[in-house]
Amino acid sequence: MRARPPELVRCPGPGSVKTELPDLRTEIPGPRSRALSERLARVECPEVTFQGDSMIFWERGAASNIFDVDGNRYVDLLAGFGAASLGYAHPELSEAAARQAETLQHAMGDVYPARVKLELLEALDRILPGDLGYAILSQSGSDAVESAIKTALRVTGRARIVAFEGGYHGLGLGALDTTHRAFFRDPFAARLPRTTQFVAYGDAAAVRQALAAGEVGAILVEPIQGRGGIRPAPEGFLAELRALADEYGALLIADEVYTGMGRTGDWLACSAHGVLPDLVALGKGLGGGFPISALAGRAELMKQWGASSGEALHTSTHLGNPVMCAVALRTLEIIERDQLLERARGLGSELRQRLEHAFGPECVRGSGLMLGAELPDAARAERVVTEALREGWIVLCEGERGCVLALTPPLVIAEKVLWSGVDTLARIART
Ligand SMILES: Cc1ncc(COP(=O)(O)O)c(C=O)c1O
């Protein structure tokens, strides 16, 4: 059992709340987490939640802190899979959600939409580069990728997609066909259309070959492979894909579910490469931790869906849910007002330097506040994750071999807390 004096560190920007260093009051996991985990095992499909000996149940969050059911306080260095980019219980997001829920919690998104759906779509139109101003809203990142796959087929009439080894685009059956890892695909192989051709990430010549074989409607790429191990696209690669897509009449789809909405220091990570995709999938940080996603596309392409006949061809009951839209809208406003793109760039570059110092420059990669440190093997990485949790720091490993320590903290995380986290991870990794 460890106890530490709390240290209060303020985040920048109005409306922010304090972040504190970890404060552990029980062994980890504590008795309440253990008891809940036994209950969960009786009611949830066993494949869903990992019943290892580190499972803690979250009770509440504040800024970059998580409190578990045993009263232990952690720092989340992942922003909950990269989604809680404004941290937890941001007072303005809570207020936006509560106000909208009290006013109108549900609408008929594709028949009688809420006004706030329009306001969110207009905000996306304003912040996204180029003419990526026509969008389809949805709930998960996987949904946004499904919208992209359908749009590509609708526009080009060609079903094949070029995607990349190490790529992750979600687990819905359409998106799954473009997700590379065998672990996810193999059990459902009989259900996959297998219209995706995978090529090595960074290999433009292989992409050209795949396009030359014909029938390719789209190239689907992550500017930084997130779940693939925080692997950034090599210099010039996205521009080459843009040129190849144009040459062969295919669409360039950027999956920015992880990288987008400020995580790498821009609204879109593609922008740092000077590349404008035809379609972009957004999720995670778009809703500041609330489930909303979007596919945004060039007007000229999105119009090729044609007008709704009254029976929308691609929709869902909760499309444009007013509470999710209100929170996403407020998230975008706060990111702009509090200059969090700039903060992600500045803090990210210092984080990178510190990680390079701690783990060696050759092991560190990513950009903005989406960084990874590659450890020698999965066993070491797993040990760092487990021991870090036992000291109150939440991190995970990514990559097919599971040996990349991923750091995707809330964009508002307090610097001192972050540096303390890096020191802790480095110390654990060394021992
Ligand atoms: C790049 C990318 N695309 C799509 C997804 C799927 O998003 P979701 O889990 O919300 O369906 C993820 C999730 O990690 C992702 O990283």
Q: Does the beta carbon of 227 sit less than 6 angstroms from any atom of ligand 1?
A: yes
Distance 295 CA to ligand 1 centre (A): 13
pLDDT on residue 51: 87
Nearest ligand 1 atom to the CA of 225 is 1
Nearest ligand 1 atom to the CA of 140 is 10
Q: Decide: 88 and 66 in contact? Cβ < 8 Å.
A: yes
Pocket probe mutation, ligand 1, options 81, 137, 142, max atoms within 8 Å of Cβ: 142
Cα–Cα distance, 1 to 62 (Å, whole number): 23
Nearest ligand 1 atom to the CA of 81 is 14
pLDDT on residue 53: 86
Q: Does the beta carbon of 145 sit less than 6 angstroms from any atom of ligand 1?
A: yes
Q: Decide: 408 and 80 in contact? Cβ < 8 Å.
A: no
Pocket probe mutation, ligand 1, options 85, 161, 258, 290, max atoms within 8 Å of Cβ: 258
pLDDT on residue 413: 97
CATH number attached to the domain at 8-24+73-77+339-430: 3.90.1150.10
Q: Does the beta carbon of 141 sit less than 6 angstroms from any atom of ligand 1?
A: yes
Peptide bond into 29 cis (omega under 30): yes
DSSP letter for 271, please.
G
Q: Encode pLDDT of 154-194 as tens digits.
A: 999 999 999 999 999 999 999 999 999 999 999 999 999 99
- Among candidate residues 63, 68, 65, 84, the one with its CA nearest the CA of residue 76: 65
- Fold assignment, 91-337: Aspartate Aminotransferase; domain 2 (3.40.640)
- Among candidate residues 407, 265, 267, the one with its CA nearest the CA of residue 342: 265
pLDDT on residue 1: 39
Q: Does the beta carbon of 142 sit less than 6 angstroms from any atom of ligand 1?
A: yes
Q: Decide: 137 and 112 in contact? Cβ < 8 Å.
A: no
Domain ranges of the chain: 8-24+73-77+339-430, 91-337
Cα–Cα distance, 318 to 5 (Å, whole number): 44
- For ligand 1, atom 4, the nearest C-alpha belongs to 169
Query: Phi and psi for 389 in degrees, rounded to 5?
Result: -60, -40
Q: Supply the DSSP string of 79-142, one letter for each residue.
A: HHHHT-TT-BS-HHHHHHHHHHHHH-S--BTTTB--HHHHHHHHHHHHHSSTT--EEEEESSHH
Residues of the chain with pLDDT under 70: 1-17
pLDDT on residue 15: 42
